[in-house]
Amino acid sequence: MLLRPAALIALGVLTLGACQMPPAEEAAEAAPAPVLDLDNKLQVGQLIAETRCSRCHATGRGDRSPHDEAKPFREFSENYPIRDLEEPLAEGIMVGHPDMPVFQLSPYEIDALLSYMESIQKPHPT
Ligand code: HEC
């Protein structure tokens, strides 16, 4: 059977409509999360830890330090409050590690890094 042109057009409009509506809604729902949310301090801190420190230190909750003598970050607070690292980091004193490159972090970066470290500390008796 032959469809008349008007019917064909109507069909086309219908299928077009059917095809276009759902993807538009999905796109709105599944808007991709930003790769890095600079307002998210923990995310910034994690990024710093992973890019600057994870070559030697375990920076997550369950990973192993690639460098045998570099303590996992999550265990730092066994010996001192994490915030005690603020000053040495700010003054660039944290260069005592063997092979460790000198790194300079801004106050915001230090705050973010320490906030992240605090967020992953293993629970331990205080
Ligand atoms: C090239 C390897 C290397 C890199 C990269 C590195 N570290 Fe270390 N770090 C070490 C080693 C090895 C030690 C243990 C020996 C020492 O203290 O000299 C250490 C020790 C430390 C300590 C003392 C921990 C304790 O309680 O004994 C802190 C704090 C620390 N690192 C922070 C950092 C931070 C923050 C970064 C990233 C910004 C970083 N390190 C990157 C190798 C490294």
Q: pLDDT truncated to tens, each residue of the chain (126 aa)?
A: 555 555 544 444 444 444 455 555 555 677 777 778 888 999 999 999 999 999 999 999 999 999 998 999 999 999 999 999 999 888 876 656 666 666 788 999 999 999 999 999 998 665
Res 90: pLDDT: 87
Q: Could you tell me the distance, in angstroms and rounded to a whole number, from the CA of residue 35 to the centre of ligand 1? A: 27
Ligand 1 atom at minimal distance to the Cα of residue 117 = 35
Amino acid at 17: G
| Alpha-carbon 106 to chain mean position | 18
Residue of 51, 55, 100, 104 to test ligand 1 pocket, by largest number of atoms within 8 Å of CB: 100
Res 63: pLDDT: 97
Q: Could you tell me the distance, in angstroms and rounded to a whole number, from the CA of residue 26 to the centre of ligand 1? A: 45
Res 100: pLDDT: 65
Interior angle at CA 74, CA 73 and CA 77, nearest 5 = 90
CA dist., res. 28 & res. 32, Å (int): 9
- Cβ-proximal residues to 6 (8 Å cutoff; 6+ apart), any chain: none
Q: How many CA atoms within 13 Å lie on the side-chain side of 97? A: 17
Res 84: pLDDT: 95
Q: Could you tell me the distance, in angstroms and rounded to a whole number, from the CA of residue 62 to the centre of ligand 1? A: 17
Q: Could you tell me the distance, in angstroms and rounded to a whole number, from the CA of residue 107 to the centre of ligand 1? A: 19
Res 46: pLDDT: 96
Res 31: pLDDT: 77
